[in-house]
Structure 1
């Protein structure tokens, strides 16, 4: 069953304003009225685990979004209000002066605020903004691979930029939100999510080339097809070891080989390096290095081809590339748990032209590109396959490309 559409931007904004007024009190300073800002989650159509390896990714901003209501305060304090999935009220305060001390300490290392507060406070501090009251309301499911963290960071970022009239460019905003995640929280992720969330445009996917540091809006109407997202309810976290182990190896290979992973001989070069320098390869066997680097190399090539297929309106070809991407993430990068594999195979057997895991892996969501007349069958097949396999039954959404972070 496909769930009804998520709340509209206006509904999310209204709930965030009401939440702030209820928990922090109504506006009392005419010079600091409450405003509301919104940032969507993102789905990556193809191109995963290559944003940190000079690759090409193709995400778009989704209908699921995070809204924040925010207002300035003059005491240098950030008060942050949110609600945990179990309904618990999250109410925390952080002094920006204390963050100054922590960031500038001689022994400062990533992870100085390694929980939900770091996404908010890290963004505000990295932008150089002042004190704020911030209330968060979100429809982006946590741990779903749909970038709930970047949605939160970017909603807070545009709020801080506007409230303090910082004049920050989109590039600077993206850099600040990435620093919040990488340094303040300590999650060693790439820049795919923040780029997609900030630069999203309705009806378009965003082709991101991390080698040339370029981006291109690509129309993605896909007439006659719908994209389904299946949130597996198998949670993942970018701050945990499996993701970091994959990135650590690729970072080490890039440094040792001075490569972009687009070179024709890069896989064999990486295998030779690992055989000769096992410590530098972080203890990974040469055959493991072969698979990991082969994924990065082939995924970038696939994504470049997928961009061309999307421009040409060749949905069948695009779907085949999605399937090849999933196989590479499963077999070479080894990030696909059984629950998500069951969902992907069920979608394909029920008529999807393409299906794959999306995001960082080890849990999260799958996506399926379905002909309009097969949408219900695909959703039913995913539910049946996961239930019969003893896995959590996914929540399934239909989605389309939306605008990025903005004031509402």
Structure 2
């Protein structure tokens, strides 16, 4: 039997046991896991150093190395995410609807765990902890398959979490890490119908599309982030600049960072050259349309492929438009329905943008970097869904539950 099969079956075997654990028991385990991460931060950082060294030897980009890197502050932040999950209300058992039929049947719709969740992701070891915490809080067992770039980090993190779980009521078998770096392990997970109840991919577009196109297990699609910020004619220059810079450079390696800045022609005439210098001072390469090159001679000519690329790096596309309609058309053509922003002081333009742009998160005068479970108050997130069934946007605890109808009768039979 393969590692994937054995670990998935082991996790599956305790789903019933896990589903019966109380909120207090689950919270106790999450807090113990958080404390263990902080207590053993030095060991985790040492394991992470192995991944970073291997990444540098393989020529991994600085932005991807940043996604991979752990330090004491980041580990404390990851642990804080677990504490916040523990502090949040447990959705399992919540009554969503309750009604009585004319024949006397009493019907209650309740939240229940999904069962066994498979999560396939890339080089961010914080996802290992976020996924574990969110799944366990909702009574779900989980099989994690992280990227080979973070294997040493993930292996150590799971070891620490298992040690903590052994001191609690949660079975450690409910949390499994697939260590086989071969792509065949991913392919096997995609076909595990009857074992895995759902698969959630997190990562770049190639990983996500591989899962979506090849899985026979149900998939919740978390999309790539080609996010836009549209600076309208009436945008305040100080606000527009601050939002655009934050959306790109605060952490360019993540999916909610801006990849294309769309600028109204009047704003471009007055302010684009100055804003471009601010990006250049932060080592951002600019690629733009023909009109952009007029204001930023040192920019590179952008192609259609550029506008359709999620860089996750210090590269930014610029597109100058005549009006809001053209901005929305560009987003419709190249966006991935993740996060989109308008910066404007015209209420009518803001209202139209928020209403007409089809994305999981739409912003008026705020950075797209806020599309995040932690920032939304979810404690952490399992991913940002860009599809429209079951869940959309940052997926917190309720998104990791299904529903059950409970029907109470007094002898009713159907005619």
- TM-score, length of structure 2 as denominator length: 0.25
Answer with 1 or 2: which has the greater Rg. Answer: 2
Larger RCO of the pair (alpha carbons < 8 Å, separation 6+): 1
Q: TM-score, length-normalised on structure 1?
A: 0.25
